[in-house]
Structure 1
Amino acid sequence: MRLKGLLCKIVILGTGLLTSGASVADTQVNIVGLFSNKAVLIINGGKPKTLSVGQASDGVKLIAADSQAATLQVEGSIKRLSMGQAASVMGKSSSGSSSAVLYADAQGHFVSDCQINGASLKFILDTGATTVAMNSGDAKFANIDYKRGEPVQVSTANGIVTAYRVTIANLKIGGITLSQVDASVLEGGSPSVVLLGMSALNRLDMKREDIALTLTKKY
């Protein structure tokens, strides 16, 4: 078993739903300027808009802002974003297809949020990982009794380590829900985020356009 890319620092750019040929209730927001109690936003690819705290536009309300980050309410969801970051609040496509969009960061990594057994965790897409992989703390948070899994030796960027083979009952990314997903749990704090490996990615179609990567459930 091979696991790569055990990263200690990532940037979350958010997720969104996108289904080819179908309408999607999806609000995308990019942060292009930050000031005290003000932020400059690009909403759904439109022209930059400056909002003061308390103001709203196109379903996006500015809750707080300073030179470091802005807190937004996007279609009812709270998002905290820094300069250059983006978020997309997901909606259901008219065709009912299960899909999600990930956005690459400056290093080209696709990172976002997921739910494992109902627990919210951060992940990074990693085609070099044989399975979904996580550290033991994240496994406990997701109510996975990993010590009952089969112990195996795996090769990582940090060398050979012991991992436990487990099965994730429910993995959700945006509008995609996967059941019974093979995973590996590594003792300790590495990887720092969940690695979305091939045991999940093999069940998804992936299509990239510029910095956007569309995931669509195959089965």
Structure 2
Amino acid sequence: MRRRLDLLAAGLLLAAVSTLHAAPLVQVVGLFPGAAVLKVDGQRKLVKVGQTGPGGVQVVSADSRGAVLRVDGVEQSYSLSREYGEGGYSAPTRQQLSIARGIGGHYWVAGSVDGHPVQFLVDTGATSVALNEGQARTLGLDFRVQGQPMQVSTASGTAKAWRVKLDRVKVGTLELLGVEAMVLEGDSPSEALLGMSFLNRVGWREDQGVLLLESKH
């Protein structure tokens, strides 16, 4: 009987040791000054420097180039979208982008239209990418000739607009071809809007103050 108890205790101790040494699968899926979006064993969270995230993983430092994480008491450098664990290095099959909520609760993201840099305001209430005519001219869009004239409803009333096709729209590593957009007469909207004509073609969701975009292919 005593031998059976000893064997049982040894088995429980071995299981405990195995559990303690099972390294969590850690992935950095978003980088910001002073914070990183961690994905630990499938659980995703925005963690600031000095704070501890899922699985007890602590963010030691973070910037746009990478993050230093403390995992099981060991500090290690991590770059974007790389997984580490017992299986070694593994890259995600889909392109991902994490956008932290900014001032006023809005999501801002740097991108480009046809190779020209654009600062987008993400707007899930906009049916398409939207630009004012000044922004369109800066991008070299001949919207009055090539666009389809129409009337659109805005918060301030009805406005004249032109429906156009943008050859390439890119935010982060996500790039789409042939994206529908609206160019509005005048100086509204004041910011370029990243609307549903882009967002509907990628996977997106909000999670704890972070907007997550992911390519569908």
Question: Normalized against structure 2, the TM-score is what?
Answer: 0.62
- 165, 168, 173: which one pairs with 2:166? 168
Cα gap change, 1:218 to 1:173, in 2 (>3 Å): same
- For the residues of structure 2 that align with 1:208 and 1:112, how far apart are their CA atoms? 15
Tell me the equivalent position of 1:29. Answer: 33
Q: Aligned letter for 1:137?
A: G
- For the residues of structure 1 that align with 2:151 and 2:166, how far apart are their CA atoms? 19
DSSP 3-state at the match of 1:134: strand
Cα gap change, 1:210 to 1:125, in 2 (>3 Å): same
More strand by share: 1
1:139 maps onto 2:136 in alignment: yes
Tell me the equivalent position of 1:18. Answer: none
Cα gap change, 1:161 to 1:217, in 2 (>3 Å): same
User: Which gives a bigger RCO, structure 1 or 2 (Cα 8 Å, sep 6+)?
Assistant: 1
1:103 maps onto 2:83 in alignment: no
Among the aligned pairs, what percent are the same residue? 33
Tell me the equivalent position of 1:47. Answer: 50
Preserved CA contact (<8 Å) 2:29 2:96: no
- For the residues of structure 2 that align with 1:59 and 1:208, how far apart are their CA atoms? 22
Structure 1 position 26, deviation (Å): 5.3
Q: Deviations over 1:102-155 (max 9, x none)?
A: 111242211221111111111111121111100111112222111120100000
Aligned residue pair count: 154
Preserved CA contact (<8 Å) 1:117 1:143: no
Q: Deviations over 1:14-59 (max 9, x none)?
A: xxxxxxx88448542149xxxxxxxxxxxx73229xxxxxxxx957
Q: Aligned letter for 1:141?
A: T
- For the residues of structure 2 that align with 1:145 and 1:163, how far apart are their CA atoms? 13
Structure 1 residue runs of 5 or longer lacking an equivalent are 1-20, 32-43, 49-56, 61-73, 77-89
Cα gap change, 1:190 to 1:22, in 2 (>3 Å): farther
Cα gap change, 1:25 to 1:218, in 2 (>3 Å): closer
Structure 1 position 207, deviation (Å): 2.2
After TM superposition, list the pairs within 5 Å mapping 1:120-159 onto structure 2.
120-147=117-144, 148-159=146-157
- For the residues of structure 2 that align with 1:159 and 1:47, how far apart are their CA atoms? 48
- 212, 215, 218: which one pairs with 2:216? 218
Q: Aligned letter for 1:98?
A: Q
Q: CA-atom RMSD, angstroms?
A: 2.8
DSSP 3-state at the match of 2:179: strand
Question: Normalized against structure 1, the TM-score is what?
Answer: 0.61
Preserved CA contact (<8 Å) 1:121 1:193: no
- For the residues of structure 2 that align with 1:111 and 1:29, how far apart are their CA atoms? 15
Structure 1 position 218, deviation (Å): 1.8
Preserved CA contact (<8 Å) 1:102 1:112: yes
More helix by share: 2
